[in-house]
Amino acid sequence: MPSTASQLTAQVVRLIGCIPSLLALMALNALTKETFARAAIVSVPPPLFGMFAMFAFLLALPERAADKAAGPPLPAAVGVVRVVQPAGDGRAG
């Protein structure tokens, strides 16, 4: 069984690995909010539009290219799910 120190180190390394992709997602969110504010679009929340835009973008790409495009934001997405999901829920891996 790994020691507590090595588990903590592994968690810190994973957290540091999430930072670039999390910053990229936050920058895209801020850009979408700014664009919506300048265009006076209030009927659709910018994060919802961003999620659908990313989904549509990945669907439009060939499978191999979509795998490469989905790779960089994955650590941030997994990190957000782990923070948001209650402990012991059993749904996340």
Domain boundaries, the chain: 15-74
> C-alpha 24: how far from its chain's center?
9
pTM of the complete model: 0.56
Dihedral over Cα of 47, 19, 61, 93: its sign: negative
Residue pair 32/47 in contact (Cβ under 8 Å)? The answer is yes
Q: What is the pLDDT along the chain (93 residues), one digit of tens a residue?
A: 567 878 778 777 777 777 777 787 788 888 989 998 999 988 888 888 888 887 888 788 887 777 676 666 667 777 677 777 666 555 544
User: Which residues neighbour 32 within 8 Å (Cβ) at sequence distance 6 or greater?
Assistant: 46, 47, 49, 50
